[in-house]
Structure 1
């Protein structure tokens, strides 16, 4: 079920007796369960009719026994099972030859109970009878992990939803610094929202001042320096990284550069080099297409292939393979030398 339609149904009180929230991305599981907890019962009703259980502390039998109770002076009772993945074996286990406990409950759920499972980092097999039983009487929502290339769009949409805008470079900085953890990203956007103080755009300068990400010394600027063959700037950034290895470990920098030059190689192979087609095939924002065009003009296809091979070699050395005594500073310098050659 799509997130928007799910939340809309809850708002309109088109409620189901079971909500099974599962998947690799915990952010949406937390958000939906929080929304359910906030919108089904009034504050007065919650005292007697809202129960939170934790998978590591209870059995499935206890969960279902709680769900079979009747509400007190309310239309519904809400039973929230957090960390339900700890009940994974019980949820899938058969208690007789035909079905398991949850499957049996899903076939005849308590109409006045809303049972919510927060089943993080895992998902039910769609072929299982228990999945089909829950899907028939309730809602199954799969919270999928976003791909890295989807994160910038997610950040931009989240900022827009709050009534602000964010520059492409600022989006890239947040993506690089925070990765694909939507919870972390949301927390940082919350902080930025508090300090915007009337300003409507999140800029690299605001991020540098308030989150501590340098707008000049980061992996995005390093790949851009290599792409434009500004080796003086690349050396300054590498020197900064060498002195701040805790925040800029080489094992994270190399994959970013590898991804960049892999896309430059892909660009070389495209017949249609229109901006829209390049953005679509490289899975990048149209704003950054020019960076790949410049890099492709500076590095012929054969040279790009050599750089990719070098990055693989440096990556292995950074992980201690055939270079136990090499320091990150040594490897950064070797990388610069070989790309420049």
Structure 2
């Protein structure tokens, strides 16, 4: 039976369990959430000592796994058997291992909840194995969320925290963290440690919070560059980037690349309506005026040239091209972005 992650989590919270779960897909957040829910709620802490078995795909044979799944639980009605990193399980790719699993699917143990966490990949939907899994197990395929789906996800996490969040704060989280759901959830929970129930998460909180985990305030840097404020940009990089390492600077360069890529779209578009512009550059509507103001500071040739400068800095930070220190790379990049060089 194919189900969504949200449906499965809701059923688990209601105490409804299936004999077998097969969790697959690119997005690890929901796979981890369902795995944790099964492990933490079906058994008490005392029962887990004898009735929670965790295998890892690389070290697990199908025969050993199913032998454990068929064993009766000790002192309780259920046992839980989890295969983490199931995508590394060689028997799942071989006929003999698949045959053993198919036999178990037809008659699973009523006293066992068996869960496969098959991360970052999916079983071929045309295969006999997948069809059998779909018929006899709960199959969840966790896909990466699109940009327009992220606000609802962020709001759902914040709601569980007993808080609210402003639209601008949501947009800033999207800009900084992308669509990595695990990272978004972790960062929100860290922020939530200092919040009381009923608090509202604002853009100022997000800006301050993200600043704690970045080499410098990337929102302030992007804003200064969009406004073509050379003094402010140099101040941000100069004061905070002395000890920055290349791997920490790469997200900053990626953010600047995304910023100027959006300016290219705005230079080329014929749209004028705010909502349409927001859709074209994939940002919330309240960010569009900032980009339109930046459009006045950078002509299309300048914008294209700046993309080239950012690309060169990216290669230098990755060690593909010779370069001075990371701080000097960033300082030179800022100078080039804000000055038209002939």
Q: Does 1:54 pair with 2:51? A: no
Q: Which residue of 2 aligns with 1:330?
A: 328
CA distance in 2, matches of 1:319, 1:45: 49
Helix, strand or coil at the partner of 1:245: coil
Of 180-189 and 299-308, the range deviating more from structure 2: 180-189
Tell me, yes or no, if the aligned pair for 1:91 and 1:101 is still in contact at 8 Å. Answer: no
Of 18, 26, 31, 1:29 maps to 31
> Residue 228 of structure 1 aligns with which residue?
227
2:96 corresponds to: 95
Comparing 281-290 and 259-268, the one that deviates more: 281-290
Q: 1:315 to 1:53 in 2, by over 3 A?
A: closer
> Could you tell me how far 1:140 is from its partner in structure 2?
1.4
Match of 1:64 in 2: 66
Q: Deviations over 1:135-187 (max 9, x none)?
A: 11111112234467865663344113322123456546655665654444433
Question: Any gaps of 5 or more consecutive residues in structure 2?
Answer: none
Q: Deviation of residue 225 (structure 1)?
A: 1.5
Q: 8 Å contact 1:107–1:137 — kept in the other structure?
A: yes
Aligned-partner SS, 1:195: coil
Contact 2:215/2:248 (<8 A) preserved: no
Instruction: Give the secondary structure class of the aligned counterpart of 1:235.
Output: helix
Map of 1:79 onto structure 2: 81
CA distance in 2, matches of 1:117, 1:47: 20
Query: For 1:126, what is the secondary structure of its paired residue?
Result: coil
Q: For residue 130 of structure 1, give the secondary structure of its aligned residue in structure 2.
A: helix
Equivalents in 2 of 1:114, 1:250: separation in Å? 45
How far apart are residue 312 of structure 1 and its match? 1.9
Residue range with higher mean Cα deviation, 209-218 or 160-169: 209-218
Report Cα offsets for 1:169-228 as digits up to 9, x if no partner.
654665566565444443332332232246612345545766752899522222222222
Judged with a 3 Å threshold, the aligned counterparts in structure 2 of structure 1 residues 150 and 249 are, in CA distance, closer, same or farther, namely: farther
Count of matched residue positions in the alignment of Structure 1 and Structure 2: 337
Q: Which residue of 2 aligns with 1:158?
A: 157
How far did residue 48 of structure 1 move? 5.2
Measure how far apart 1:270 and its partner are: 2.3
In the alignment, the residues of structure 2 paired with residue 39 and residue 217 of structure 1 have an alpha-carbon distance, to the nearest angstrom, of 41
Q: Which moved more, 1:199-208 or 1:232-241?
A: 199-208
* CA displacement at 1:116 relative to structure 2: 0.7
State yes or no: 1:252 paired with 2:254. Answer: no
Matches within 5 A, 1:161-176: 161-167=160-166, 170-171=169-170, 174=173
- Aligned residues of 2:210 and 2:217 also touching (Cα < 8 A): no
Corresponding residue for residue 120 of structure 1 = 119
Matches within 5 A, 1:305-324: 305-322=304-321, 324=322
The structure-2 alpha-carbon separation of the partners of 1:317 and 1:191, relative to structure 1 and needing over 3 Å to count, comes to: closer
How far off its partner does 1:282 sit?
1.5
Encode CA deviations 1:292-324: one digit per residue, 9 max, x unaligned.
1111232232322222222223323333445x2
The 1:311–1:212 alpha-carbon spacing in structure 2 relative to 1, beyond 3 Å, is closer
Determine the C-alpha separation between the residues in 1 that align with 2:248 and 2:187. 22
- Measure, in 1, the Cα distance between the counterparts of 2:270 and 2:41: 53
> What TM-score results when the alignment is normalised by the length of structure 1?
0.83
**More moved, 282-291 vs 193-202:** 193-202
Residues 68, 280 of structure 1: CA spacing in aligned structure 2 closer, same or farther, 3 A cutoff?
A: same
Paired with 1:180 and 1:8, the residues of 2 have a C-alpha distance of 23
> What is the RMSD of the two structures over their aligned residues, measured on CA atoms?
3.3
2:291 counterpart residue number:
292
SS at match of 1:80: strand
User: CA deviation digits over 1:261-298, x for unaligned, max 9?
Assistant: 11111122222221211222211122211111111232
Shift of residue 90, structure 1, vs aligned partner: 0.7
Deviation at 1:25, TM superposition (A): 2.8
